[in-house]
Amino acid sequence: MNDFFVSVSDHLPRLNKSHKVFDVNEELPDQWTYPKPYPYPYPYPYPYPYPYPFLVNGCNHQPGRCRLVPGIDVGSEDIQVLPNGLAFITSGLGPKRPGKILLFNFRKPWRGVRALDIIGDIDRVAFSPHGLNIWRDTNRNLIYLFVINHNGYTKETVEKFRFDEKTRKLYLLRTFTDDPTFVHINDLAVTGEDSFYFTNEYKSQPIMEFKRGLPLGNVAFYDGTKGHIILTDLFFPNGIASSPDGKFVYLALMGEKRLNVYARRANNKLKLKQVIPLCSLVDNIDVDVATGDLRVAGHGDPEMLMKYLTPPHTSISPSQVFRLTTGDGGSRVTDVEEVYYNDGRQFSGSTVAVRYRRLMLIGSVHTNMLLCFIRDA
Ligand SMILES: [Ca+2]
């Protein structure tokens, strides 16, 4: 029972791990600079004067030098990376923005991002991509991308694409739609060719439900034909992910500021194994397929998050990233470390963090995307 709770609030001094405060204007080493100089301090307007009278925030820390990736100004809500370093990004969440799926190559970060062409019958103007997950068929060497689509906030669907690595195009294969369990989907964890777990974040009125603390969210499983509600009465469930072997499921409960670990049963029901409190409104979860470790991004302040989420998205909001070390085949979390915190002046609205070798990308709900060099990887 002792290890049921691992709290990030409990921490001990770590030898050889100092959180050096970097000047956010400091440049990355030459090999990481971009062809075009990127504007600093910040590429979007901020409320001035800043509400707190400080220049250096003692809470801020980062794993190494960081800078914003050019070419993104309408968000990077979810990111997932292939073993070859190609990362997919959903950008343009919101009812009035045509969304896109972007590609970033961790091996050539100076190239920034490019939008992927989508081939197939899809309304590109109403496309509102949110959570995404990759499913790899290693036998046939095929890569599938499953993407939540709000369709201009008129209808919830899940789009299944095949990614052609040669042409760098996405081919729409199937649209999962018209299922009563599709309410307001935030994220999904693919478990097979046509099956996935997904989170319904809220029921109908997000601001009212959040302010009143109403647990009207749920987790469901789509079996290829229809959805089944698996977990109910959840307060803003957000990110969901599977362990590399698919035996465990991780769920970020944003409203409850915690991450739950579940064992997946043969009938796809989930059995709670562990609860990890995190001092954050936790968002998406990325599973490092090599180590099984998790990276969880979150929002540090609900009030500031609400302001940031309100168009035109010019207010700032604190960003956080945690690394959760897993043990026993991903069945439990053994350690938690906060690897990034920023009061919002460098980076706001963090939703996801993905590591590839010594680099980490951090995505945001509505604004930009940050690339950090990991000094102590
Ligand atoms: Ca999310």
Task: Measure the CA angle with vertex 354, ends 274 and 236; round to 5°.
Answer: 50
Q: Where are the domains of the chain?
A: 2-373
Sheet containing 113-115: order of strands: 78-81, 86-91, 100-105, 113-115
How many angstroms separate the alpha carbon of residue 100 from the centre of ligand 1?
A: 16
User: Could you say which residues of the chain have pLDDT below 50?
Assistant: 1-5, 9, 14-54
* Token representation of residue 261: 């670990």
Q: How far is the CA of 187 from the centre of ligand 1 (A)?
A: 6
Tell me what pLDDT residue 60 has. 87
27 assigned ligand-binding residue = no
184 is catalytic: no
**254, burial (CB in 10 Å: exposed 0-12, middle 13-18, buried 19+):** buried
Is 368 annotated to bind ligand?
no
- Tell me, what's the pLDDT at 22? 43
- C-alpha–C-alpha distance, residues 294 and 9, integer Å: 18
Please give the backbone phi and psi of residue 131, each rounded to the nearest 5 degrees, phi first.
-70, 150
Per-residue pLDDT tens for 117-165?
999 999 999 999 999 999 999 999 999 999 999 999 999 999 999 999 9
pLDDT value of residue 365: 96
Residue 95 is predicted with a pLDDT of 80
Please state whether 221 falls in left (phi above 0), alpha (psi between -120 and 50) or beta: beta
| Cα 337 from chain centre | 17
Domain 2-373 sits in which CATH superfamily? TolB, C-terminal domain (2.120.10.30)
Ligand 1 centre from 106 Cα, in Å?
22
- Given 11, 61, 130, 150, the catalytic residue: 130
pLDDT value, residue 59: 83
> 285 CA to middle of ligand 1, Å?
8
Q: Which among 42, 64, 45 has a CA at the least distance from the CA of 360?
A: 64
Token representation of residue 104: 């970033």
Rounded to the nearest whole angstrom, what is the distance from the C-alpha of residue 45 to the centroid of ligand 1? 24
Q: Please report the pLDDT score of residue 266 as a whole number.
A: 96
Q: Evaluate if pTM is beyond 0.75.
A: yes
365: CA distance to ligand 1 center in Å? 8
| Ligand 1 centre distance from Cα of residue 108 (Å) | 26
Q: Which residues fall within 8 angstroms of residue 208, CB to CB, at 6 or more apart?
A: 214
What pLDDT score was predicted for residue 16? 40
Distance 229 CA to ligand 1 centre (A): 19
Q: Is residue 87 within 8 Å of 132, Cβ to Cβ?
A: no
Q: Is 156 annotated as a binding residue?
A: no
DSSP class of residue 268? S
Residue with tokens 């562990």: 274
Tokens of 146: 């499953």
pLDDT given for residue 11 in this prediction: 52
pLDDT of residue 129: 97
Quick one: tokens of 259?
A: 């991450």
Residue 57 marked in a binding site: no
139 is known to lie in a ligand binding site: no
Residue type, 74: V
In eight-state DSSP terms, residue 313 is: -
User: Alpha helix (H) ranges present in 73-182?
Assistant: none
194 is in an annotated binding site: no
